[in-house]
Amino acid sequence: MMIDDLDQRLLSAIQQGLPMSPRPYAELGAQIGLSESEVLARLTALKQDGLIKRLGVIVKHRQLGYRANAMVVWDIPDDQVQHIGQLISRLEFVNLCYRRPRHGATWPYNLFCMIHGKSKETVLQQLALLEQACHTQAFPKQVLFSRRCFKQRGAIYRKFEPATAHG
Amino acid sequence: MLTPLHKRLLNDYQRDFPLSPTPYQDIALELGVSEEDVIDAFVELDEQDVITRIGPVIPPNRIGVSTLAAISVPETELEAVAQIISAYPEVNHNYEREHRFNLWFVVIAADAQHLAQVLADIEQQTGYPVMSLPLMEDYFIDLSFKLDLHDD
């Protein structure tokens, strides 16, 4: 689906955060020259079309006590990766599950998932459940717990400067 | 401290924030409080730094292109390299992880050419090769997060 320039500007504006005031969509529209009703109609359409996956509160799970976060990766044969990926994605404690390319011998892993928990122990227990439920025990894997978070924020979609802007 | 109102706002409004002229009023009616209570509570959540914002989540590669990238950096240089990478507006998440590849970040750009340029630029600025692992298949993406907010 194509989005037009106004949608692009609207997404860019709302990604800075919906104003916390009584008429937030009117305020948003005022920044980019759209009426409140146009803003609402466009956001509703973007959501229906799946270009907005969800609209709402974006929580900082770390600040809420979910301090352990593991990215778990496996090397799964290509003819099984989709099936296993779909099994993993059904588990309640998994938030993301992706297939990505391998990167030679340094990175032979092609299936990624993310598990958040209040402690490392919880995450490892959940991982053990996952391995049992999805029959992944036999495949090589790595568990990458997060340490410091240097940046977490939504993607900024905007009109990009020419690439030379970064030198 | 999180009040019961804070907890409701955190758990119940991650997905379908009201798309109406007065969303905070709508939430207030649903929860039996005043509009001012709702707005104040959101401002408090923001000030307490437990929410990033109220806004949209856009699936990867629907608008623009993105990749998950990783870099392997000596511990002593990690902080400096992380700062360089975080400074790019095209970078959104940037995490240290326990692995030889110890810095993981997501890069988003309008098109593939711009994305490649950002990655090349990061390699040049940091002096380390970047491993780029773009999404091939998404088995599931639901970034709303069921929170257990019992005080424990």
Q: What is the pLDDT of residues A48-71, one digit of tens each?
A: 988 898 899 988 877 788 889 999
B32 has a pLDDT exceeding 80:
yes
Say what percent of chain A tops pLDDT 70: 90
All domains of chain B in start order, with CATH: 4-47 (no CATH), 65-133 (3.30.70.3460)
Residue A28 confidence class, pLDDT cut points 50, 70, 90: very high
> Which residue in this structure is represented by tokens 């809420």?
A64
Mean pLDDT, range A80-103, rounded to an integer: 92
Structural domain includes residue A31: yes
Nearest to B10 among A59, A96, A107 (CB): A59
Residue A159 within any structural domain of the chain = no
Which residue of A26, A56, A145 is in closest CB contact with B13? A56
For residues B58 and B117, the model is more confident at: B117
A135 found inside a domain: yes
Do residues B58 and A155 touch, judged by C-beta distance below 8 A?
yes
CB contact under 8 A, B53 and A58: yes
| Whether the Cβ atoms of residue A142 and residue A128 lie closer than 8 Å to each other | no
Would the CB atoms of A53 and B48 count as touching at under 8 Å?
A: no
Alpha-carbon distance of A146 to A124, in angstroms, equals 13
Task: Give the tens place of pLDDT for each residue, B122-146.
Answer: 999 999 999 999 999 888 655 555 6
Q: Which domain holds residue A66?
A: 61-145
> Is A56 contained in some domain?
no
Same domain, A44 and A74: no
Q: How many structural domains is chain A composed of?
A: 2
Cα dist from A54 to A40, A48, A79, B20, B104, whole Å: 14, 10, 32, 15, 24
Q: Per the CB < 8 Å rule, is A58 touching B136?
A: no
Q: What is the CATH number of the domain that holds A19?
A: 1.10.10
Closest-CA distance, B31 to chain A, in angstroms, reads 16
Closest chain B C-alpha to A143 CA, distance in angstroms? 8
Dihedral angle, C-alpha A100, A101, A104, A106, nearest 10 °: -10
Condensed to tens digits (0 to 9), the pLDDT of residues A130-142 reads: 999 999 999 999 9
Residue A165 has pLDDT above 80, yes or no: no
Nearest beta carbon to residue B63 from set A3, A142, A150: A3
